[in-house]
Structure 1
Amino acid sequence: MASHRRPKQPSRTRVTVLTATAAAAVALTSQAAQADPKPTKKEVKAKVDKLYEEAENATEKFNGVKEKQDKLEKQVGDLQDKVARGQGELNELRNGLGSMATAQYRTGGIDPSVQLMLSSDPDSYLDKASTLDQLSTKQAEALRKIADKQRTLKQQRQEASTKLEELAETRKTLAGNKKEIQGKLSKAQALLNSLTAKERAALAAAEAERANRASSRADLGNALPSSQRAGAAFSAAQSKIGSPYVWGATGPSSFDCSGLTSWAYSQAGVSLPRTSQSQANAGQRISSQSALKKGDLVLFYGDLHHIGLYAGNGQILHAPKPGASVRYESINNMPFQFGVRV
């Protein structure tokens, strides 16, 4: 006989699971539909430019720490040389003291009064006794010199040890700065790689056109340098137009911003500090753009992480950013802070 029982209804638990699964699928589909669209070429460029600016900021920090490392390495080297020379001098003093002790021992250790009584020639003994007194005086002086040299060596070794610890911390900081810079540049490159080959080529062409236009059509007016050395520095920087920006570079074939200014002034016989923040204190500050003269240093951004040379007629000459080359640019393209006349 055929069965007429009603089919078994799905359990409430099973219905709940199926409903939840369906809801999750709908949510995922909705999220996919609402996901952020691929950034446009303009948006990518804005993000890349921001990363480049941050990388340049980190570069100036790197430059400052690198300068400190170089100074510490020299100080440690000088201290180690002093310690080595001092140890050599100490060894000579000890050898001299040993020679004197040996000579004194060879004269005999008999009590002077007994030796005088036994001597058949008192005058000869008195000469020997006088020599012994001189040896004792020399020994005392040698011991004093040895003690002084030991104290000096101890101080120098302690100073060298402190400098070595500071150098180790500085190198650690330097590695962190380097990692930060490389990280930002890598992010920028990843963003650029998200564009099509055609879009990347368009951005590169636009950057090249901007550089060529800025350098070939720059109207510098009739601005005169504030001094012969400022003029010489500016001429040196002009000779590097088209050289690539490379973080940490100080020339002669590539530069970062402060690397260009320090190199340019070095060609004029002027030594500038390594970083833009330090160069900001290298001369007389000029607060007004209208008072700037050719060759003056020009500082940008609140933290002074970018620097260039005033070129005249509202133009600067600088190493702009990663991916760009030394070129002229309007002073108004960045937040001007002040100028410095070296």
Structure 2
Amino acid sequence: MASHRSPRHTPLPGQARPARVTVLSAAAAGAAVALVPAAPAGAEPDSQLSAATLNSRIDRLYEQAEVATEKYNGVAERTGKLREQVAHAQDGVARSQTEVNRLRDALGALAGAQYRSGGIDPAVTLMLTEDPDSYLAKAATLDRIGSRQLAKLRRLQSAQRVLGQRRTEAAGKLEQLAGLQQTLEQRKKDVRRKLAEARRLLARLSPEERASRDGRRSRAGGPGIGPGGSAPSSQRAAAAVAAAKSAVGRPYAWGAAGPGSFDCSGLTQWAYRQAGTSIPRTSQAQRSAGQQVPLGQARPGDLVIYRDDASHVAMYVGGGQVVHAPHPGAAVRYDPVGMLPVSAVTRP
């Protein structure tokens, strides 16, 4: 469909189109925080901490970073929707401006015809002012305008009123968008700071300790899955499972939703999108994106939500296993369903 933008439209103050909010990959995030922060003042030196203590602190930082990432994802989703609303509002301003221009051109043509025939009616001159309301308010002078001229003037009056309303709406949405973009930047800083501290602590572990850490979840125990959990609940669930399995080995990147990299909720959203189904972007919203079922009745394709704050999500794929995007530095992988405290199981 052709654009309604008019070259005669004067942009609103601050109406430059907002830059797209880009999602940092793990590599870009790493480059942005190349200067790893020092330990907090007064903290016990890392060299004096045991591997167990370091691992506990790293786990806590990853959990905090995941919470911050899901908050980032929520704001990013709202920003995308608001950006669409801004574009729609600006297009409405352009359409209204085009209509005002057309009506004023028609009145200008009327004035030109009157001038060539011996002079312009003062009423027509008033029609061409920026504020025809001031003329219409003077009811005593309306008899000086013919019915056709009056109808044109009223249409212009209405068009200018709509234009003003749409300009106000667009300006308000632009202001909201600027606020959300500022919030996004703060969320980015929160995630970067926590991931940088986690990398600093990881560097204190020996290669053997890091390898042992990577295998901890694979050895985790947890509640079992009942006998009804062997088959997907639907064809779309089966397609989502196939998509999630196809992503195994691709890297984690906070804020990413595929196809090359993922964070936890980005993976599950992408997998269901491949199955032709739309689910929300964040793990908190995904918890409510379908029917709640007991863990013992989980079936492949169900979303397993972890922690009370729903800050992590994985997809159950059968056999007591989930596929998920765990944390920075790790690839999408299989892990036991009981790797973390389960707070809910949702069947989209």
Interval containing the TM-score (normalised by the shorter chain): 0.7 to 0.9
Q: 1:96 aligns with which of 98, 103, 106?
A: 106
- Given that 1:220 and 1:313 are in contact with CA atoms closer than 8 Å, whether structure 2 keeps it comes out as no
Structure 1 or 2: more helix by fraction: 1
- State the superposition RMSD in angstroms: 2.7
Identity of aligned residues (%): 48
Letter in structure 2 aligned against 1:296: D
- Higher RCO, 1 vs 2 (CA within 8 Å, ≥6 residues apart): 2
Q: Which runs of 5+ in 1 are unaligned?
A: 1-33, 112-132
**Contact 1:207/1:324 (<8 A) preserved:** no
Structure 2 counterparts to residues 186-225 of structure 1, below 5 A: 186-195=196-205, 199=206, 201-207=207-213, 209=215, 223-225=230-232
Is the 8 Å Cα contact of residues 224 and 293 (structure 1) preserved in structure 2? yes
The two structures have a TM-score, normalised by structure 1, of: 0.75
Partner of 2:278: 271
TM-score, normalised by the number of residues in structure 2: 0.74
Provide Cα deviations, 1:67-108, integer angstroms capped at 9, x if missing partner: 111111111111112212221221111010111122234444
Equivalent residue for 2:238, pick from 227, 231, 243? 231
SS at match of 2:305: strand
1:339 is matched with which residue: 318, 329, 345?
345
Greater Cα shift, 319-328 or 238-247: 319-328
Q: 1:36 to 1:156 in 2, by over 3 A?
A: closer
* Residue identity matched to 1:266: R
**Is the Cα contact below 8 Å between 2:202 and 2:210 reproduced in 1?**
no
Return 5+ residue gaps in structure 2 as ranges.
1-43, 122-142
Structure number with bigger Rg: 1
Match of 1:179 among 178, 189, 209: 189
TM alignment of 1:249-288, pairs within 5 A: 249-286=256-293, 288=294
> CA separation in 2, counterparts of 1:267 and 1:41?
41
312, 317, 334: which one aligns with 1:311: 317
2:301 to 265, 286, 295: 295
Pick closer, same or farther for the CA change 1:266–1:110 going to 2, 3 Å: closer
Residues 234-292 of structure 1: CA deviation (Å, up to 9, x unaligned): 11000111111110010111100000000000000011111111112211111x11121
Q: How many residues align?
A: 278
